[in-house]
Structure 1
Amino acid sequence: MKDKKVYLKVKDHSVSGEEFQLIKNEIYGFLETVPQPNETELPEYYKTEDYISHTDSKRNLFENAYHLVREISLKRKLKLINSVSLQNKQEGNSKNRTLLDVGCGTGDFLQTAQNDHWTISGIEPNIRARKIANKKTKEAVFGVDQLLNFTENSFDVITLWHVLEHLPNLENQLSTFKHLLKPDGTLIIAVPNYKSYDALYYKNFWAAFDAPRHLWHFAKDSISKLMLSKNMKVVEILPMTFDSYYVSMLSEKYKKGSLNIFNAFRIGFLSNLKARRSGEYSSLIYVIKNK
Structure 2
Amino acid sequence: MANNTIELESRPCPLGCPSADQPVLTGHDRINNLPGEFQVVRCDSCGLLRTDPRPTPASMGFYYPDDYPPYLGTQVKSRNGSGGLKRWIKSLLDTKAQAIPELQPGRMLEVGCASGNYLHKMANQGWQVKGIEYSPQAAASARENGYQVHTGSLESVDLDASELDLITGWMVLEHLHDPLMGLKKLYGWAKPGAYLALSVPNAASLEFKLFQSRWFALQLPNHLYHFTPETITKLLQQAGWEVEAVHHQRVLSSLFSSLGYLLQERGWHRLERWVVGRPSDKVRLYQLLYPFACVAAIFGQTGRMTVWAKKPD
- Compute the displacement of 1:4 (Å): 2.5
CA distance in 2, matches of 1:274, 1:241: 8
Normalised by the length of structure 1, the TM-score is 0.80
Q: Which residue of 2 aligns with 1:254?
A: 261
Q: Which residue of 2 aligns with 1:156?
A: 165
The match for 2:69 among 38, 48, 52 is 52
Query: What are the within-5 Å matches in structure 2 for residues 90-169 of structure 1?
Result: 97-136=106-145, 138-144=146-152, 148-169=157-178
Q: 1:119 to 1:181 in 2, by over 3 A?
A: same
Unaligned ranges ≥5, structure 1? 59-71, 87-93
- Compute the displacement of 1:25 (Å): 2.4
User: Could you say what secondary structure the match of 1:133 adopts?
Assistant: helix
User: Could you say what secondary structure the match of 2:51 adopts?
Assistant: strand
The match for 1:8 among 25, 43, 67 is 25
- Compute the displacement of 1:239 (Å): 2.5
- The 8 Å contact of residues 224 and 234 in structure 1, kept in 2 or not, is answered as yes
The match for 2:103 among 64, 67, 85 is 85
Q: 1:48 to 1:248 in 2, by over 3 A?
A: farther
Q: Which residue of 2 aligns with 1:171?
A: 180
CA distance in 1, matches of 2:151, 2:167: 16
1:18 matched to 2:18: no
- The 8 Å contact of residues 196 and 275 in structure 1, kept in 2 or not, is answered as no
- The 8 Å contact of residues 271 and 281 in structure 1, kept in 2 or not, is answered as no
Write out per-residue CA displacement over residues 97-153 of structure 1, whole angstroms, 9 at most, x where no aligned residue: 0000000011000001111111000001101111111122x1411113686421101
User: Could you say what secondary structure the match of 2:186 adopts?
Assistant: helix
CA distance in 2, matches of 1:232, 1:275: 27
CA distance in 2, matches of 1:102, 1:192: 16
Q: 1:3 to 1:27 in 2, by over 3 A?
A: closer
Q: Which residue of 1 aligns with 2:48?
A: 30
Moved more, 197-206 or 142-151: 142-151
Amino acid at match of 2:152: V
CA distance in 2, matches of 1:121, 1:278: 35
- Compute the displacement of 1:271 (Å): 7.4
1:43 matched to 2:61: yes
Normalised by the length of structure 2, the TM-score is 0.75
Q: Which residue of 2 aligns with 1:281?
A: 302
User: Could you say what secondary structure the match of 1:20 adopts?
Assistant: strand
CA distance in 1, matches of 2:206, 2:97: 28
CA distance in 1, matches of 2:299, 2:305: 13
User: Could you say what secondary structure the match of 1:275 adopts?
Assistant: helix
CA distance in 2, matches of 1:128, 1:276: 35
Amino acid at match of 2:237: L
Q: 1:251 to 1:270 in 2, by over 3 A?
A: farther
- Compute the displacement of 1:21 (Å): 1.1
The match for 2:226 among 217, 220, 225 is 217
Q: 1:193 to 1:13 in 2, by over 3 A?
A: same
CA RMSD, 1 decimal: 3.1
- Compute the displacement of 1:76 (Å): 7.5
Q: 1:80 to 1:273 in 2, by over 3 A?
A: closer
- Compute the displacement of 1:48 (Å): 5.9
Q: 1:184 to 1:6 in 2, by over 3 A?
A: same
CA distance in 2, matches of 1:78, 1:23: 27
- Compute the displacement of 1:217 (Å): 0.2
Q: 1:78 to 1:192 in 2, by over 3 A?
A: closer
CA distance in 2, matches of 1:77, 1:122: 21
- Size of the aligned set, in residue pairs, is 263
CA distance in 2, matches of 1:33, 1:148: 25
